[in-house]
Amino acid sequence: MIQSQEKPDRVLVRVRDLTIQKADEVVWVRARVHTSRAKGKQCFLVLRQQQFNVQALVAVGDHASKQMVKFAANINKESIVDVEGVVRKVNQKIGSCTQQDVELHVQKIYVISLAEPRLPLQLDDAVRPEAEGEEEGRATVNQDTRLDNRVIDLRTSTSQAVFRLQSGICHLFRETLINKGFVEIQTPKIISAASEGGANVFTVSYFKNNAYLAQSPQLYKQMCICADFEKVFCIGPVFRAEDSNTHRHLTEFVGLDIEMAFNYHYHEVMEEIADTMVQIFKGLQERFQTEIQTVNKQFPCEPFKFLEPTLRLEYCEALAMLREAGVEMGDEDDLSTPNEKLLGHLVKEKYDTDFYILDKYPLAVRPFYTMPDPRNPKQSNSYDMFMRGEEILSGAQRIHDPQLLTERALHHGIDLEKIKAYIDSFRFGAPPHAGGGIGLERVTMLFLGLHNVRQTSMFPRDPKRLTP
């Protein structure tokens, strides 16, 4: 066991650097035993390091005894080993490894951390495409087994790629916004009042009182706008106590939130948000092509398409498209999930884009703080954004006038006492502003064409799952 006894000079070479440039060099490598196969006086190991792997050969001879071959063959899969070996060019490419041109001729092998002999799931099963599993009658791994054994499931090339790309989404989001002059803020998650009417909120015991978990950072983002920060963003957990067991709902997810003061029209903000999304899509396609292709191997999917500038449709246009396709909907009805999906298909067909904005939602289906459209009292200055036919962002111009805000809260039957601090924030001069909140896991899921948001949350939380 490595307990930091010493600091040896030994250099560990990365598996991805084992190429013909290193042929005939003696190297040390630390990696997992992905598979092992004994064959007479030889043992073939596949050594894995993240998404890279290399073949290693332990053969009875000058450097290895019979005992050593036996020892190597008996190391449990997923154990971590330190191996000293010579890099040798191979005559025939090794198709099953990422390092196809070389193998490692092992001289020494030490177990750094031994895995237990029985794995709760096999990594090869966990990356097998569903279709292949069905056709060939080979095992795949169901979602609960994956999630119950997440530490192993996250080791697959698919999971490594998904979460590296997700890290990239956060990075691109911030990079874009910081370049646009935004300031990052940190907003509290424990709040004193359930702000939006009190539904779907988790209660926390707070010393001798009760408190709540924030359903969004929106009120705090808005306070920052009233406090002259002008353009702010934050990335953090948001909590929804909804008993929804669907492919796209979690009780805790990561919100990418934006709020921004504007000069004359909320489209200034809407366009900044849409451009931020476009910069994320471009950045992912430029910097994460390997990850996209890795995920595609298991979950085949069309490349994500988008337009520049982003397509904007008004709600009434969308209604017309849906009605033409046979859907019956009232002017002030909200979109159901199937109708969202259908609309996504219709938009893709007509405009060839997987990303678009739906603007001017009916006022009736939006929260009380949404600014009404001054030209049509049934409409509002609000928008959603969609990826592959599913909503990933909801946003709006917010009411910045305390009197109108009070009227709208009363209209929605909200207890004014509970939102007093919020309304008071607008009493000392508030610039017009708009913003929106993006669900990180949904963006990852839909960009990659995956089908369940639990695939893009490392440790998902839903009404039935709180572990690991």
Residues catalogued as catalytic: 240, 242, 248-249, 391, 394, 442
Question: What number of chain residues touch a copy of itself (CB under 8 A)?
Answer: 109
Q: Which listed residue (68, 152, 357, 448) binds a copy of itself by CB under 8 A?
A: 152
Contact 200, 242 (CB under 8 A): yes
Which of 105, 99, 102, 107 has its CA nearest to residue 89? Answer: 102
Which of 179, 148, 177, 151 has its CA nearest to residue 163? Answer: 151
The interface with a copy of itself within residues 369-408 (CB under 8 A) comprises 371-375, 381, 397, 400-401, 404
Q: Map 205-238 to HEC letters.
A: EECCEEEEECCCCHHHHHHHHHCCCCEEEEEEEE
Q: Which listed residue (213, 284, 363, 409) binds a copy of itself by CB under 8 A?
A: 213
Q: Is 427 in the site for a copy of itself (CB under 8 A)?
A: yes
Q: Is 204 in the site for a copy of itself (CB under 8 A)?
A: yes
Q: Is 88 in the site for a copy of itself (CB under 8 A)?
A: no
Q: Is 206 in the site for a copy of itself (CB under 8 A)?
A: yes
Token output for 263: 């000069």
The interface with a copy of itself within residues 333-352 (CB under 8 A) comprises none
- Nearest distance in Å: CB 463, a copy of itself: 6
- Nearest distance in Å: CB 266, a copy of itself: 5
Q: Is 417 in the site for a copy of itself (CB under 8 A)?
A: no
Handedness of CA 296, 300, 303, 306 (dihedral sign): negative
Site string for a copy of itself, 91-130 (x = CB under 8 A): ---------------------xxxxx--x-----------
Q: Is 423 in the site for a copy of itself (CB under 8 A)?
A: no
Token output for 223: 């306070």
Which class for 205: exposed (0-12), middle (13-18), buried (19 or more C-beta within 10 A)? exposed
What single letter denotes the amino acid at residue 404? Answer: L
Q: Is 286 in the site for a copy of itself (CB under 8 A)?
A: no
Q: Is 264 in the site for a copy of itself (CB under 8 A)?
A: yes
Instruction: Name the residue nearer to a copy of itself (CB basis): 204 or 327.
Output: 204
Which of 53, 107, 56 has its CA nearest to residue 85? Answer: 107
d(CA 443, CA 286): 17
CA 42 vs CA 114, 155, 460: distances in Å: 21, 28, 43
Q: Which residues make beta-bridge pairs with 82? A: 30, 110
Instruction: Name the residue nearer to a copy of itself (CB basis): 55 or 397.
Output: 397
Which class for 395: exposed (0-12), middle (13-18), buried (19 or more C-beta within 10 A)? buried
d(CA 458, CA 150): 8
- Nearest distance in Å: CB 293, a copy of itself: 18
d(CA 219, CA 236): 14
Q: Which listed residue (207, 324, 326, 377) binds a copy of itself by CB under 8 A?
A: 207
Q: Is 23 in the site for a copy of itself (CB under 8 A)?
A: no
Contact 224, 259 (CB under 8 A): yes
Instruction: Name the residue nearer to a copy of itself (CB basis): 32 or 442.
Output: 32
- Is residue 84 within a helix (H) or strand (E), and if so which, with residue range? strand 80-89
Contact 449, 279 (CB under 8 A): no
Q: Is 166 in the site for a copy of itself (CB under 8 A)?
A: yes
Contact 368, 414 (CB under 8 A): yes
Which class for 432: exposed (0-12), middle (13-18), buried (19 or more C-beta within 10 A)? buried
Q: Which listed residue (91, 205, 286, 328) binds a copy of itself by CB under 8 A?
A: 205
Instruction: Name the residue nearer to a copy of itself (CB basis): 335 or 371.
Output: 371
Instruction: Name the residue nearer to a copy of itself (CB basis): 251 or 310.
Output: 251
Instruction: Name the residue nearer to a copy of itself (CB basis): 93 or 375.
Output: 375
The interface with a copy of itself within residues 40-59 (CB under 8 A) comprises 49-50
Q: Which listed residue (58, 191, 343, 419) binds a copy of itself by CB under 8 A?
A: 191
Q: Is 186 in the site for a copy of itself (CB under 8 A)?
A: yes
Token output for 337: 């999930």
- Nearest distance in Å: CB 319, a copy of itself: 21
d(CA 260, CA 431): 9
Instruction: Name the residue nearer to a copy of itself (CB basis): 32 or 248.
Output: 32
Q: Is 229 in the site for a copy of itself (CB under 8 A)?
A: yes
Q: Is 418 in the site for a copy of itself (CB under 8 A)?
A: no
The interface with a copy of itself within residues 356-375 (CB under 8 A) comprises 371-375
Q: Is 459 in the site for a copy of itself (CB under 8 A)?
A: yes
**What residue has token string 């997700």?**
166
Q: Which listed residue (63, 237, 282, 301) binds a copy of itself by CB under 8 A?
A: 237
Q: Is 220 in the site for a copy of itself (CB under 8 A)?
A: yes
Instruction: Name the residue nearer to a copy of itself (CB basis): 297 or 427.
Output: 427
Instruction: Name the residue nearer to a copy of itself (CB basis): 49 or 218.
Output: 49
What single letter denotes the amino acid at residue 165? Answer: L
